[in-house]
C-alpha cells in the first residue's frame, strides 16, 4: 500500500521531488475559469453570484442571507451532545488563543519624543466554510475564535447551500456558538470574489480565511492584494517520526487520518526501524478495511505516501525538517527531547497519545496550518493573523534639531532632496 524507501540521499530526494509536483502551479484552465468568475462578480454583484450558485449548485437557496432566527433554531434543535462537544473544544481553543494576545505600547523618551505601536483587530473578516460533503464545523471554531479574540468587529461567513437549498445545520450551530455575525449561502470562487469586492448585500471584507476546493484556493490566491488571506493551502499532510518503541497500530491509524482527506493528501512515516515499517504496512492493510473512505485512503497512501527508513534518529530529524510537514507526530522514545530540534512543522504532536485529530478538533492550537513545505517560513493561523499594527512618532522641535543633520545626510546620500528639504525647511528661519 505504501512504498518503502531507504534514505540514502538519492531515493528519498526523488520521492520528495515527485511529491512536490502535486502542489505545483495551478492548472491554467482553473485559473482562467476563476478569473472569469471574479471579473463577472466584480461587475455584476449579487446577480452574478446567484447566477453561479444556480449553475454550480443546481438551484438557488431559499434565502441568500440566513436569517438570525434560522441560526438560532439550528442551535436550539441541535443534538445536545454535539453542542457540548463543540463548547468543550471552544473552551480549549479560546484558552490557547487568549494567550496570544498582543498589547500596544508607548515609549516616552527623556527628550519629549514619543514612540509607540498601536494594535487593533481588523474591522471585517470573511470566513469561507465548505458546506457540501466536506462540511467542517471545526473550521468555524478555528477561524472565528481567534478573530473574536483579536477584536475583529464583524465576521461574515459564506457557505454553499446543500442540494436542497438549505444551509448545513452543523455549520450554523458552530456559527451560533462562535458569534459569527452574518451568514450567506454562497460558495466557490464567486463567494470569495463577493467578499473581496463587496456586493449589494455581502459586505467587503479586509481578510478572507477558511478552507475550500481548488477553485476557492485559486480565487484567494488571485485576489490577494485586493484583500488579505490566511494562506494558500495545499493538500493535507502528516509526517510521523518514529523509532522501534512506536506502536504500529497507532502509527497506521494516524497516517490514514490524513490520507482520508483527499487522494492528493500525503502521509509519510520516517523511521529508524524496518521492523516497525513492516508492522505498520500490516496494520494499514488491516485497519483500512473498515473505514468509510477506503478507496481515497488507499489511493493517497499508494500515490502520495511513503515509509522513509533512516540510519539514525538524527538523520530522521533532519529529514523531517527538510520536508517541513503540516502535521508532525513524534513517536520516539523521549519525544520531548527532540522538540527544540524540530524547527519546520505547522503543528507538532508529541508522544503516542497526541494523535493528530486531537489537534484538528479539541486540544487548542489552531488547525489552519501551512502546507507544501511552507512551514519553513509560514506560521499557523493565530490571533495575530487578525491584527494590524501601526507605529507612531511624536517629536518636539528640539528633538528634531538633534536628529536633523543625520536625516539630511542620509536623504541626500540617497538622492532624495525633497526628503532632506522637508527637514531643513523647519529650521530655515532659525
Tell which residue, 330, 317, 329, 321, has the closest CA to residue 376: 321
Four-CA torsion 239, 243, 245, 246, nearest 10 degrees? 20
- β-pair type (154-159, 182-185): parallel
Tell me which DSSP letter residue 340 carries. G
Q: Is 128 annotated as a binding residue?
A: yes
Q: Is 414 annotated as a binding residue?
A: yes
Tell which residue, 352, 351, 344, 304, has the closest CA to residue 326: 344
Tell which residue, 198, 212, 184, has the closest CA to residue 34: 212
Q: Is 419 annotated as a binding residue?
A: yes
Q: How far apart are CA 360 and CA 236, in angstroms?
A: 12
Catalytic residue among 97, 283, 327, 329: 327
Q: How far apart are CA 375 and CA 117, in angstroms?
A: 28
Q: Is 360 annotated as a binding residue?
A: yes
Q: Is 258 annotated as a binding residue?
A: yes
Please identify which residue in the block is written with the cell numbers 444551509: 167
Catalytic residue among 12, 283, 326, 356: 326
* Ranges of H-type helices in 224-345: 248-259, 274-287, 294-304, 313-323
Residue 25 sits at φ, ψ, to 5 deg, of -60, 140
How many alpha carbons lie under 13 Å from residue 428 in its C-beta half-sphere?
Answer: 7
**Active site (annotated) includes residue 326:** yes
Catalytically active residues are: 326-327
Binding-site residues for substrate: 236, 258, 261, 327, 360, 414, 419
Binding-site residues: 128, 190, 213, 236, 258, 261, 327, 360, 414, 419
Binding-site residues for NAD(+): 128, 190, 213
Amino acid at each position: 500500500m505504501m512504498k518503502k524507501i531507504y534514505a540514502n540521499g538519492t531515493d528519498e530526494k526523488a520521492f520528495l521531488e515527485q511529491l512536490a509536483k502535486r502542489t505545483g502551479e495551478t492548472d491554467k484552465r482553473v485559473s482562467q475559469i476563476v478569473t472569469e468568475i471574479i471579473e463577472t462578480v466584480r461587475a455584476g454583484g449579487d446577480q452574478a453570484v446567484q447566477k453561479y450558485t444556480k449553475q454550480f449548485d443546481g438551484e438557488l437557496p431559499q434565502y441568500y442571507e440566513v436569517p438570525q432566527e434560522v441560526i438560532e433554531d439550528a442551535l436550539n434543535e441541535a443534538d445536545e451532545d454535539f453542542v457540548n462537544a463543540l463548547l468543550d473544544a471552544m473552551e480549549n481553543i479560546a484558552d490557547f488563543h487568549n494567550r496570544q494576545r498582543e498589547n500596544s505600547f508607548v515609549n516616552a523618551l527623556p527628550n519629549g519624543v514619543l514612540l509607540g505601536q498601536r494594535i487593533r483587530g481588523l474591522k471585517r473578516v470573511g470566513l469561507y466554510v465548505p458546506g457540501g460533503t466536506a462540511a467542517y464545523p471545526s473550521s468555524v471554531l478555528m477561524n472565528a475564535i481567534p478573530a473574536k479574540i483579536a477584536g475583529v468587529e464583524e465576521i461574515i461567513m459564506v457557505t454553499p447551500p446543500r442540494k436542497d437549498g438549505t444551509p448545513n445545520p452543523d455549520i450554523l450551530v458552530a456559527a451560533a456558538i462562535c458569534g459569527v455575525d452574518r451568514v450567506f449561502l454562497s460558495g466557490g470562487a464567486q463567494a470569495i470574489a463577493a467578499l473581496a469586492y463587496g456586493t449589494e448585500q455581502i459586505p467587503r471584507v479586509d481578510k478572507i480565511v477558511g478552507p475550500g476546493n481548488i477553485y476557492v484556493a485559486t480565487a484567494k490566491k488571485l485576489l490577494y492584494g485586493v484583500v488579505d488571506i490566511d494562506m494558500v493551502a495545499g493538500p493535507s499532510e502528516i509526517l510521523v517520526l518514529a523509532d522501534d518503541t512506536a506502536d504500529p497500530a497507532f502509527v497506521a491509524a494516524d497516517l490514514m487520518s490524513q490520507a482520508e482527506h483527499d487522494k492528493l493528501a500525503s502521509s509519510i512515516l520516517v523511521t529508524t526501524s524496518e521492523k516497525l515499517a513492516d508492522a505498520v504496512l500490516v496494520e494499514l492493510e488491516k485497519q483500512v478495511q473498515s473505514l468509510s473512505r477506503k478507496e481515497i485512503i488507499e489511493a493517497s497512501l499508494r500515490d502520495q505516501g511513503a515509509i522513509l527508513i533512516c540510519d539514525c534518529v538524527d538523520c530522521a530529524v533532519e529529514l523531517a525538517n527538510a520536508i517541513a510537514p503540516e502535521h508532525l507526530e513524534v513517536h520516539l522514545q523521549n519525544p520531548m527531547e527532540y522538540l527544540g530540534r524540530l524547527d519546520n512543522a505547522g503543528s507538532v504532536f508529541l508522544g503516542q497519545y497526541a494523535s493528530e485529530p486531537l489537534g484538528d478538533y479539541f486540544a487548542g492550537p489552531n488547525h489552519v496550518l501551512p502546507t507544501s513545505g511552507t512551514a519553513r517560513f509560514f506560521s499557523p493561523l493565530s490571533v495575530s493573523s487578525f491584527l494590524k499594527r501601526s507605529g507612531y512618532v511624536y517629536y518636539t522641535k528640539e528633538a528634531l534639531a538633534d536628529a536633523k543633520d543625520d536625516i539630511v545626510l542620509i536623504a541626500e546620500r540617497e538622492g532624495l532632496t525633497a526628503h532632506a528639504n522637508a527637514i531643513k525647511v523647519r529650521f530655515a528661519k532659525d
